[in-house]
Structure 1
Amino acid sequence: MNSLVSIVIPNYNRESLIRETLDSVLAQSYSNWECLIVDDGSTDNSVEVIQEYTKKDSRFKFIQRPSNHLKGANACRNIGMQKAKGDYIIFFDSDDLMMQHHVESKLKFMLDGNLDYAVFKSKNFGQPDDVDEELDYSYYKTYEFNADNYLLNNLRFFTNDLIVKSDVAKKCEFYFKYKADIENVLMTQLVLLSNKNGFKDENVTLKRYHDANITQSLEGNKKKGLKHLFFYYYNVLDYIYDLNASTKAKQFILNQLLYNYRNLDFNLEVSFFEFLWKIIKFNRPSLLLGIITHRLKK
């Protein structure tokens, strides 16, 4: 087992945390990796911390997001993914920790099953009661790991849970338009592109619990949550048609898009007419009528 694994980590102002994250990468039982840290224009000293690691170990690579490139964690993930030289790619966050067997376990599972991508488990750490929390992955025992069950929200996974064949990952992209960092769009592309996947009931990631955690603050903020859902369903429309999702999945996505649109009480960056045109293309008169009616009531 000697495949090169690329670890892609976006960073923004993680001076106080990223050292611990990079130490967990250094401690991996599998040694043939490269770690690409893509900085999103940090204003603290995290770049200096990262450069300490690039100087002492050539497997660490520092990349600065170009100033003319859109900002955001997903934009940085896309940059890192395109520059990755590995046979496999693992996406990771700058505030979380890899267990020592993280890379080795993921790679072995991929090779043994000849998979295009795989999902492992994460658990939370650093909570106020100092008790690590096992996250719920029980739905993998109930539902088959396929595109329909992912699109119908029967299954879910975190970015850190993934390992993907590099050539498969590079056919996809993380969504970063309209300032909405939505990882699910890449995951949707993966499940539609290939069913050569697998789930491993093994914890390999420690997800840090803290107030600045993007996912937790998103879940706790209704406005951001609605925006997140709207843009996920809005953007994924292109993929479910281009990549031939089932009729059931298409119907569900369209219904969810309309439901979330009706619940929005604020303006979106996306043009209403751009939104309308996308729906017109799908030839859904009832959905179109619902959107126009809601717009007229605003």
Structure 2
Amino acid sequence: MNISVIIPVYNASEFLEKAVDSALQFEEVREVVLVEDKSTDNSLEVCQKLVVKDSRVKLYQHPDKGNHGAGATRNLGLEKAGCEFISFLDADDHYLPNRFNAEKEIFKDEKIEGVFGAIGVEYLTEKGRKEFQDKFKDISLTTVNFPAEGKEVLKGLLGLTLRVFGTFFHLNALTLRKSSLVKNNLHFNENLRVHQDSDFITKLAFHCYLKSGIIDKAVAVRGVHDNNRITKIIRYSPQYNERQFLLWKSLYEWTAANPLPSECRKKIYLTYKSFDLSLKTGLNKYFCTFLEVIKNPQILKTQYRFTYLNR
């Protein structure tokens, strides 16, 4: 295998060297692609030092040297990456020594276009630990609940399998054939300032043949600190609902041009409408998921009635 590791860099000077070193430990990693997104700390200087330190480290910035967000930054990394395989790593996270153990075997099957695994957590600050555990309880492993491949991955991500599949797997534990990304014109939605990863992974699971790798133990580690965006938004708050709405709107618009199975199309539509209605009504207590609608269709009728009466 020859792998390009893409690391978007924004205000990560404190953690970046550890992330890069964790990628360089593998002989399969032929290049680490740093894309610096106009940090306000000294991340750019750290990047420049890492380039000098190891010739495998490549540094890029947006043409206008501006800040464009994680989606555009990862897309620039995809454009610059020159290896057969692509992996991602956040600048405040790191790989473990078993990161590519499964990939080296699974990718011998040429039909496999992507492999995903599990990531662990490391608490770097006490405030970060408290915020993370308040939101996610004491989850030590972000993973799926059972091995899956092919069409079952998309259904699992959308909550349509008989067994609960689990959460979205993390980009840190995803490895892809670059040729498959090019063939399917897959990239991150630059209009989403958050949740670009969930949007990308859902579309990826439809267009590409994915297979689970190591899912019972971590292959990478998420660094949790004071500035993690994922812990700052309260579930079902107006800000949470708005960002979820934009994610599911992106997926809903994507379904118009792609022949998804009807159950997948329906789930995406109903989730999109749920967040749409929650924003229009302003009543988070009426927020409904797809499963809640199935159990009680009256919920959706109540939301429509409330919206109509308050136009």
TM-score tier (shorter): 0.7 to 0.9
Distance in 2, Cα, partners of 1:169 & 1:266? 39
1:229 offset after TM fit, Å? 1.3
Aligned position for 2:108? 112
When residues 204 and 193 of structure 1 are mapped into structure 2, their CA distance, relative to the original with a 3 A threshold, is same
When residues 178 and 95 of structure 1 are mapped into structure 2, their CA distance, relative to the original with a 3 A threshold, is closer
Aligned position for 1:190? 204
Residue aligned with 2:35, SS: strand
Q: Is the 8 A contact 1:10 1:93 kept in 2?
A: yes
TM-score by length of 1: 0.80
Out of 48, 68, 73, which is 1:71 matched to? 68
Distance in 2, Cα, partners of 1:164 & 1:140? 20
Q: Is the 8 A contact 1:122 1:204 kept in 2?
A: yes
Are 2:213 and 1:199 equivalent residues in the alignment? yes
Out of 193, 212, 227, which is 2:227 matched to? 212
Distance in 1, Cα, partners of 2:308 & 2:11? 39
Query: Which structure 2 segments of 5+ residues have no match?
Result: 283-299
1:24 offset after TM fit, Å? 1.6
Are 2:172 and 1:160 equivalent residues in the alignment? yes
Aligned CA-pair RMSD:
3.1
Query: Which structure 1 segments of 5+ residues have no match?
Result: 268-286
1:138 offset after TM fit, Å? 4.9
Distance in 1, Cα, partners of 2:30 & 2:153? 29
Distance in 1, Cα, partners of 2:308 & 2:189? 26
When residues 78 and 142 of structure 1 are mapped into structure 2, their CA distance, relative to the original with a 3 A threshold, is closer
Distance in 2, Cα, partners of 1:22 & 1:108? 21
Deviation string, structure 1 residues 246-293 (Cα, Å, up to 9, x no partner): 1111111111111101112699xxxxxxxxxxxxxxxxxxx9xx8898
Aligned position for 1:294? 307
Are 2:146 and 1:150 equivalent residues in the alignment? no
User: Matched residue pairs, number?
Assistant: 273
Are 2:92 and 1:95 equivalent residues in the alignment? yes
Distance in 1, Cα, partners of 2:66 & 2:198? 21
Name which of structure 1's ranges 46-55 and 127-136 shifts more when overlaid on structure 2: 127-136
Deviation string, structure 1 residues 224-249 (Cα, Å, up to 9, x no partner): 32122111110112333423111111
1:135 offset after TM fit, Å? 1.5
1:7 offset after TM fit, Å? 0.4
The amino acid across from 2:229 in the alignment is I
Identity of aligned residues (%): 22
Residue aligned with 1:187, SS: helix
Are 2:260 and 1:245 equivalent residues in the alignment? yes
Distance in 2, Cα, partners of 1:68 & 1:292? 49
Q: Is the 8 A contact 1:234 1:257 kept in 2?
A: yes
Distance in 2, Cα, partners of 1:142 & 1:61? 34
When residues 253 and 208 of structure 1 are mapped into structure 2, their CA distance, relative to the original with a 3 A threshold, is same
TM-score by length of 2: 0.77
Aligned position for 1:277? none
When residues 173 and 14 of structure 1 are mapped into structure 2, their CA distance, relative to the original with a 3 A threshold, is same
Out of 31, 35, 47, which is 1:34 matched to? 31
